[in-house]
Amino acid sequence: MLPAVYSFTRDSVALKAPRFPILTLDERQLTPALGFIFDVRWLLPGESIVSILWKFARANGLAGHTLVQLMGADVDPYEGVEPMRDVIDVKRLRRMLCLPVKVLRASLLDAGQRGRHHPTFRYCRQCTARGHHSVTYQMFSENRCPAHDRMLETQCRHCGRETPYILNAILVGSPYRCAWCGTLYGTRFPPVLSTGPTMRKEDRIAIARHFHNRMAGSFCLGGDDRRV
């Protein structure tokens, strides 16, 4: 005789798979085999590593400190690590996120440009409300969002504090909101997964074009016009 769990009829309540993976293994060894989901189509060209990790964390129900630990075996999640290409182990990151190396390298700051980046998280209010933060927003040479023509901001509008642009549990663990007071940077919570549905097509094109015009040379990205 089958166990009771197998004997439900069509009218019984179906057993549902848990929404998120149950982490029974060492979280430093997370792999896609455990069922994590991520899709490169959720990203716009130039999406920052912070934006990528926010989407990954929300899609898979992971805490910020867990993701930061995956940046390196000896990374203290509360101290964190600089989001720079010469600091982050991109191959390790690729194994976890299953994203192309090119996308991950573009999401990180260029070590050769050290000193030309804002040390604090800098954002467009409208973009964060739609789930997007570009690596270009961290650069001193950029002042406005290419899609919404808004001045980029660093302070929380509620408490006035800024958050260091470091991959640590504080920043990665506070998707789209101030890490200090919890107020959203934008006017609403963005969709859990993709930026696409809430960003107008012309805005997506403006962001992609701006990224490629300004950054493609230094990122060696060539003429890749994927998914806008």
Q: What is the CA radius of gyration of the chain?
A: 19
Are the beta carbons of 96 and 104 closer than 8 angstroms? no
CB of 132 to Zn ion, least distance (A): 7
* From 23, 37, 111, 181, residue interacting with Zn ion (rule: CB under 5 A): 181
Tokens found for residue 222: 């060539």
Q: Give the nearer residue to Zn ion in terms of CB position, either 53 or 184.
A: 184
Distance CA 26, CA 99 (A): 22
Q: Does 179 bind Zn ion (CB under 5 A)?
A: no
Q: Cα separations (Å) of 157 from 1, 21, 140? A: 63, 35, 21
Footprint of Zn ion on residues 135-164 (CB under 5 A)? 145, 147-148, 156, 158-159
User: Of 40-48, 59-67, 171-179, 190-198, which part binds Zn ion (CB under 5 A)?
Assistant: 171-179
Compute how many residues bind Zn ion; rule: CB under 5 A: 13
Instruction: Map residues 86-125 to x or -, x wherever contact with Zn ion holds by CB under 5 A.
Output: --------------------------------------x-
Q: Give the nearer residue to Zn ion in terms of CB position, either 151 or 192.
A: 151
Scored b (16 or more CB within 10 A) or e, 6-34 reads eeeeeeeeeeeeeeebeeeeeeeebeeee
Span between the terminal Cα atoms of the chain, in Å: 55
Binding positions for Zn ion, rule: CB under 5 A: 124, 126-127, 145, 147-148, 156, 158-159, 178, 180-181, 183
